[in-house]
Every structure is written in C-alpha cells, then in structure tokens.
Structure 1
Amino acid sequence: MAARATGTAAVAVESKFSQLIRSGQLKSIDALAYGSFKGITGDDQCFSYKLSAFHAYGSHQAPAVSKTYNPDHYNIQHLLVNKPSPLWLSVFCAKVNGGNKKVIRTHMVRRIRTAIREALKNHDYDLSGKRISNSIGRGSKGEDLVGTMIISAKDKALTAKMDVLQDQAEMAVTALIRKFKLEREARHNSSNQNASKQNKGTPVEVKRVQMKNRAREKGGDTTVNSPKKKKNTKNKVFGGTVYQK
C-alpha cells in the first residue's frame, strides 16, 4: 500500500510539473536574460542578475529535472512544485569571483542579500516576495511579488561601500517589479479579450428572426423558426453523382 501511494504521489507531481512547464509558469534559468545596470560599467558592478516574472529552476537542478532515472528526480520536482515563496531568490558566489575561502564567499553573498532585502522593503515586500502586513493598511493592494531573481556575486561585492551595493540592488528590484507588472497587465488584457470573444453578439440572421418573432407576437401570429441549413443527399448513378435537394 505504501509503495502504491508513493507511486501515485510521484505521478501527480510529474503531471503538475509538466503542466507548469507547458504553460510557461516554470522555466529553466538558462532561458532567462541578464539584467542591466544603466550607467554602471562592468568593473563597478557588484553582481550580475537574471530576472523573470515566472518561476525558474537553477542549472544545478536541471540534470535531476530532465532525467527520470536521476535519484533526485522526484525530490527536485516535488520541491519546485510545492515551493511556497512567491519570489524565488537565489544569491551565490563562484570561486572565480570570491576565491577559495568559503568564509569570504559567504560574506559577499550576505552583503548582497542584505541590500536586496532593503530594496524589497522599500517597495513593501519581504525577502520572499510577500507583502509586508503594515503596507496593506497604507493603501497597497496586498498582492505578492511573483517571479525569480538569480544573482551572481562579483569581486566588487566584497569591497564596495554598502550604499553603492544598495543602489545596484534597488535597480535590480525595480526591474523585477516592472517586469512583474507588465506580465500581470498582459494576463489581464488577455483574459478580457477572451471574455469579449465569448460575449460577442448573436449572428445577424438570428437577430433578424428574433425581430420577426417579436413583430408576429404583437400581431398574434405564430413565431418563425430559426433558419436551418438544408441537408443534401447523394444518389450515386453511372457516370456521376446526382444531388437531390
């Protein structure tokens, strides 16, 4: 029984994961474009970043996601499908930028996360993308910030002043919020277009019949049925086909 329940859960996770991939709500980080810092040269940048208004999984998770025989295949998919945070934030530092000492790389990551946290707080979000409760009472809609932000630390993150790092974090967060709002407006416009298509007026021929029925009802006559297409029947004969109406 336990094995059957586990198999059923795995199938459900696989199905939901495939649905998210097909709908575009879950993507690979490789499909995301790098963000930009206007007016800041590459040597002065404290980090590089990728943004998406949808959720995206990292390159280190791709092998487990794509290969069903991978021992972590189910665990990674289950983690991605059931991840509760609206904003998926990941900050890392490679050895090529932070050196071999883990304590230094950890310090660089911590500085960037602190700057990102403050930038999100300025827009009434916490680090997970959820609205801060105090901001809802000030007139905010209370909508969470959904998306993905992948940040890679650079050498400058270790020596830059905190206000410089804070300014770059503000640029990245502002770009993410702008992308999220554009995607939300696009979904809203798409839903309105679909609704208008479904609520289009009745065909002209049907309207004409309805008007005739109203006129006949006033005069006490019988109603007129809606027009129907006549069916054609075929009789096969030698030398061709004869159509009878």
Structure 2
Amino acid sequence: MASRAVIAVEAKFSQMMRSGELISAEALAYGSFKGVAGNDQCFSYRLSPRHAYSSHQAPAVLKTYNPDHYRIKHLFANKTSPLWISIYCAKLNGGNKKVIRTHMVRRVRTAMTEALKRHGYDLSGRKVSNDVERNKNGDLVGTMIISTKERSLTAKMDVLQEQAEMAVATMIRKSGQEFGSRQTNPYQNFNQQGKGANDTKRAQTGNRVRGGENGTTVNSPQKKPFKKNKVFGGMSYRQK
C-alpha cells in the first residue's frame, strides 16, 4: 500500500510539473513598490499567477536521496489552497536572534492578512463569501514569496499595510491576467509551439497547388533540363 501511495504522489507531481501548474521559484518575477525608496521598503517579494516551490525546497524536490523528497512532493500534490504565501526572514536582515526574525515575519504576515481581507480574500487566497455555493473562479490563485527587510522591525503598522496593499494589488492584477488569457485561449500552450518539418512541408505544398486570385491552379515550378557538352574528353553540364 505504501508503494502505491508513493507512485500516486510521483505521478501527480510529474503531471503538475509537465502541465506548468507547478514551477520553480526561479521563474517568479520580482514585484515593485512604486514611489517607495529602497531603504524604506519593509520587504521584497516575488510572485506568479502559478504555483511554485521555493528555492530552499528545491533540493528536496530535485534529489531523490534527500530525506524530505517524498514529504515535500506529497505536500505539493495534496495542497489545496489557491494562494501559496511564504514569508521568511534571513539572518542578513534579521540578525542571529530567532525571536527577532519571528517578530518581523509576524508583522509582515499581519499586514498581508489585512490587505487580502480588504480585497475580500483570506490568507489562503479564497474569496470570502457568505454564499453556500461559492464560485472557485473568484479565488486568488498564485504564489507569493516574501523576504522581510530590516525596516519591517521598526516601521509603523500603517506603513507596512500600505506596502502590503501594493503587493496584493499586483498579485490580483497578475492573477486576473492569467485567468483572462486562459479563458480567451485555453490551448495557448499548444498554439505557441513551433511547427515541425512535416507541417512546414505540407504548408509549402498547399501554397503551390492553392488557387490563384482568378481561381486558376498554380503549378509548382519545373526544373530546367540539362544539356551535355564535350569539354576536353570530359563531360560538363550547362543549364539552358
């Protein structure tokens, strides 16, 4: 039974990677704070309208001998929240004291929670609604990886919430663009693929036999015959 569960998790995880439903954090774009100087920024963030695993999870995902390999894949294969938010504080920004780093992460998480709530979402990205039949298309889908900065420790809460509002607005815009493109062209990944040699050859053949403007058939060009000439006992070929 255990082996069947492992095979099922591996199969689902592989399908998520092939379909683009799950990507690496390296593919995430950096978000910006318009009008906010670098020293005044309380955190930096990367985001994508798709789900992604973080860089510190990559070794466990990519290396089968990693002790957390199956646990991480099982986590992603069974994760149901539409919005994946990861907030962390590096020692470079928060120092060596874990209690300080934890406090910085908590402040940023509180600001993000309030910003999402103002837009009608909970921290998992689900649309907050009193309706019994909630439309899942209204959920906020994607990934946000947030790294706190030194300013998050001393900044006032309204400053933190203002920057969190910018980040959430950017996430909502990107998620909406992704959903709109999927609705417009659900097969966009297939349409973007390049044509193969056989497709190109068939297209060229079709152009040669396709009717002209007056309905006449356009024949493919004929090769000119060659004429033999004797040159110093040898043979040369001259085209007419």
Normalising by the smaller structure, the TM-score range is 0.7 to 0.9
Deviates more, 1:65-74 or 1:32-41: 65-74
Q: Please tell me whether the aligned partners of residues 111 and 160 of structure 2 are also in contact (alpha carbons under 8 angstroms).
A: yes
Aligned to 1:30: 26
Q: Please tell me whether the aligned partners of residues 182 and 188 of structure 2 are also in contact (alpha carbons under 8 angstroms).
A: no
Provide runs of 4+ in structure 1 moved above 4 Å: 139-142
Equivalent residue for 2:8, pick from 9, 12, 33: 12
Q: Please tell me whether the aligned partners of residues 55 and 148 of structure 1 are also in contact (alpha carbons under 8 angstroms).
A: yes
Q: 1:63 to 1:192 in 2, by over 3 A?
A: closer
TM-score (norm 1): 0.73
Structure 1 residue ranges without an equivalent (≥5): 195-245
Distance in 1 of aligned mates of 2:83 and 2:137: 14
Report deviation, 1:192: 8.5
Equivalent residue for 1:50, pick from 21, 46, 51: 46
Task: Specify the SS of the correspondent of 2:160.
Answer: helix
Give the letter for the 1:178 counterpart.
R
Report deviation, 1:33: 1.4
Equivalent residue for 1:159, pick from 150, 154, 157: 154
Q: Please tell me whether the aligned partners of residues 131 and 142 of structure 1 are also in contact (alpha carbons under 8 angstroms).
A: no
Give the letter for the 1:63 counterpart.
P
1:133-177 deviation per Cα after TM superposition (whole angstroms, max 9, x unaligned):
24x59x998721111111000000011111111110000000000
Give the letter for the 1:100 counterpart.
N
Q: Please tell me whether the aligned partners of residues 63 and 70 of structure 1 are also in contact (alpha carbons under 8 angstroms).
A: yes
Aligned to 1:40: 36
Question: In the alignment, does 2:68 pair up with 1:92?
Answer: no
Name the % identity: 66
CA RMSD in angstroms, aligned pairs only: 2.0
Aligned to 2:220: none
Structure 2 residue ranges without an equivalent (≥5): 190-240
Report deviation, 1:191: 3.0
1:22-76 deviation per Cα after TM superposition (whole angstroms, max 9, x unaligned):
1111011111111011111111100000111111111111111111122221111
Equivalent residue for 1:174, pick from 166, 169, 172: 169
Give the letter for the 1:22 counterpart.
R
Task: Specify the SS of the correspondent of 1:62.
Answer: helix
Alignment length (residue pairs): 188
Aligned to 1:125: 121
Task: Specify the SS of the correspondent of 2:126.
Answer: coil
Q: Please tell me whether the aligned partners of residues 13 and 81 of structure 1 are also in contact (alpha carbons under 8 angstroms).
A: yes
Q: 1:103 to 1:144 in 2, by over 3 A?
A: same
